[in-house]
Chains A and B, each alone.
Chain A
């Protein structure tokens, strides 16, 4: 009963945060709403039996990425956003969003998890330990993992070059 209760609360918080993120006119309020979404998602990961991902979600997104967002907004002292009446991109945007939603629903219904759920089985609730996760990451998926780290290194070097003062 408690997991269902937690799911409803956190899902509602995530949706409310996402709406507030778009609705807020103050950039810092938008950033805070995004933090709320991140934390609600972290709790949802926890309910799905992925405590490591949940903690990393908070450390990386809420604790590092969003802190930098807030820091930069403060540093630039960004003003209150102006609200326009209607954007021309709203209609294609809404259509694209709807299309993506249909696509996700379609593929989820065809996937193994979706079929198991449709047959009334409970979602898999085995807790994945940090050890299992790292063994997968460093054995089965070693190449993509290392490739990603090289990608990140390139991004860091790129930021370094862009921020360098011309002498």
Chain B
């Protein structure tokens, strides 16, 4: 007890990290469900349907399957690096998310701790890049330590790709840092509040002055997280499964989770830097005040849809499962309509909506685009994305030098 009263910041951080970890792990599991469902519907299929209503229990079943599968370690593998690699990949992927503020810093608990962010650092952006820049080790070590030809090729490809695109990823966001004049996430978001003078309808998000930077960031981010159309490291037709060919059971699941955690991290960063973070796209005056009820109304609409679907289509156990979902969504929706709670969850609501939009874009790309060839990937990164992001940086710097009032904040 004495320790808890002496270190309030430390204890609060640990509790917040535990809650965040729970939310992120659940989100990871259901992101796989969302991806399978969305791709299936884009390709005119049903996707997971049998394990739980609409396949809602599929992530749980997959998790249990991974836990109970045989965990094979190849005898020729380098034991230390082979075991270290998935741990590095997953822990780095998850710890980066702890730096993101999910709501305004003005929302605090009675003891003065911020509600929606674990830490509020002055070098938040730099530290996030520090953590994500270490992510290459997981992939490189996995490829090397397996001591087998396909993982080695996959690991080499993957490391080269991640090193190449990390350069343009970092340079593409410097324009935003120049405009905001800070590396603190909350200040970066705060600099995006308000509206452009022209029509007073377009929010002052950095995506508008930095659209080139945003496109470069998005391209590099997809390559950095090894996703389609840049998923060369695991090109099935050439490399079996790339760097994680020799991994089985839960170690494979850890790489899988790390990939989705990285997707969430880069989506969070895109939201913070270009899409105004937890800011609402609407003004908060007059009739716009009713936007506070959007999350509640959305959940209630979901509940109504689920109820209709339960009654009209579900039979047996699935009817019970979807009924539970209906009750949860309905209850959650009613709680979110209570005015103080509706006002408090505005920040996380908009943040989550924006992240989901970017994640859906990711999934959409995967369902639509074919894979690049390796030389195309490299020349695209070095000869197109990098020069464009450098030019964007130089032009932004020149604009700020000539017209200092273009700076936000």
Residue numbers of A with Cβ under 8 A of B are 2, 26, 28-29, 32, 35, 42, 51-52, 55-56, 58-59, 62-64, 67-68, 70-71, 74-75, 129-130
Segment with Cβ contacts to A, from B49-57, B137-145, B319-327, B361-369: B137-145
Whole-angstrom distance between the Cβ of B118 and the nearest chain A Cβ = 16
Q: Is the CB of A52 within 8 A of B136?
A: no
Decide yes or no whether B202 CB sits under 8 A from chain A: no
Bound together, the chains give a CA A75 to CA B158 distance in angstroms of 12
Residue numbers of B with Cβ under 8 A of A are 7, 10, 78, 80-81, 84, 121-123, 126-127, 129-131, 133-134, 136-137, 140-141, 143-145, 152, 155-156, 159-160, 163, 166, 183
Further pairs besides A58-B134, A63-B133: 9, Cβ < 8 Å: A28-B78, A29-B81, A51-B123, A51-B127, A55-B126, A63-B130, A71-B140, A71-B159, A71-B160
Whole-angstrom distance between the Cβ of A66 and the nearest chain B Cβ = 8
Whole-angstrom distance between the Cβ of B337 and the nearest chain A Cβ = 42
Whole-angstrom distance between the Cβ of A108 and the nearest chain B Cβ = 28
Bound together, the chains give a CA A29 to CA B156 distance in angstroms of 17
Q: Is the CB of A55 within 8 A of B130?
A: yes
Bound together, the chains give a CA A59 to CA B127 distance in angstroms of 8
The 17 listed contacts between A and B (C-beta, < 8 Å) are: A2-B7, A2-B10, A26-B78, A28-B81, A32-B137, A51-B127, A58-B130, A62-B133, A62-B134, A64-B163, A67-B140, A70-B137, A70-B140, A70-B159, A71-B140, A74-B159, A129-B122
Q: Is the CB of A74 within 8 A of B81?
A: no
Q: Which residues of B contact A64 (CB under 8 A)?
A: 133, 163
Whole-angstrom distance between the Cβ of A20 and the nearest chain B Cβ = 11
Q: Which residues of A contact B141 (CB under 8 A)?
A: 28, 32, 70
Bound together, the chains give a CA A129 to CA B145 distance in angstroms of 41
Bound together, the chains give a CA A64 to CA B163 distance in angstroms of 8
Using A2-B7, A67-B136, A130-B122 as known contacts, say yes or no to A55 and B152 having CB atoms under 8 A apart.
Answer: no
Q: Which residues of B contact A129 (CB under 8 A)?
A: 122
From the candidates A35, A51, A52, A56, name the one contacting B137 in the complex (CB within 8 A): A35
Q: Is the CB of B156 within 8 A of A32?
A: no
Q: Which residues of A contact B133 (CB under 8 A)?
A: 58-59, 62-64, 67
Q: Which residues of A contact B163 (CB under 8 A)?
A: 64, 67-68, 71
From the candidates B10, B122, B134, B144, name the one contacting A28 in the complex (CB within 8 A): B144
Q: Is the CB of A56 within 8 A of B126?
A: yes
Q: Which residues of A contact B122 (CB under 8 A)?
A: 51, 129-130
Bound together, the chains give a CA A74 to CA B155 distance in angstroms of 9
Q: Which residue of A lies closest to B84 (CB)?
A: A32
Q: Is the CB of B134 within 8 A of A63?
A: yes
Q: Which residue of B lies closest to A68 (CB)?
A: B163
Q: Which residue of B lies closest to A74 (CB)?
A: B144
Bound together, the chains give a CA A52 to CA B133 distance in angstroms of 16
Using A35-B137, A59-B130, A74-B143 as known contacts, say yes or no to A67 and B123 having CB atoms under 8 A apart.
Answer: no
Q: Which residues of A contact B160 (CB under 8 A)?
A: 71
Bound together, the chains give a CA A63 to CA B145 distance in angstroms of 19
Q: Which residues of A contact B7 (CB under 8 A)?
A: 2
Bound together, the chains give a CA A32 to CA B137 distance in angstroms of 9
Q: Is the CB of A71 within 8 A of B127?
A: no
Q: Is the CB of A71 within 8 A of B134?
A: no
Closest 5 CB pairs of A and B: A63-B133, A58-B130, A55-B126, A55-B130, A74-B144
Q: Is the CB of B123 within 8 A of A130?
A: yes
Q: Which residues of B contact A55 (CB under 8 A)?
A: 123, 126-127, 129-130
Using A28-B81, A32-B81, A130-B122 as known contacts, say yes or no to A67 and B159 having CB atoms under 8 A apart.
Answer: yes
Bound together, the chains give a CA A32 to CA B144 distance in angstroms of 13
Bound together, the chains give a CA A51 to CA B127 distance in angstroms of 9
Bound together, the chains give a CA A56 to CA B123 distance in angstroms of 10
Bound together, the chains give a CA A37 to CA B83 distance in angstroms of 20
Q: Which residue of B lies closest to A26 (CB)?
A: B78
Q: Which residues of A contact B84 (CB under 8 A)?
A: 32
Q: Which residue of A lies closest to B135 (CB)?
A: A63
Q: Is the CB of B80 within 8 A of A59?
A: no
Bound together, the chains give a CA A116 to CA B10 distance in angstroms of 31
Bound together, the chains give a CA A29 to CA B183 distance in angstroms of 34
Bound together, the chains give a CA A20 to CA B130 distance in angstroms of 24
Whole-angstrom distance between the Cβ of B407 and the nearest chain A Cβ = 14
Q: Which residues of B contact A51 (CB under 8 A)?
A: 121-123, 127
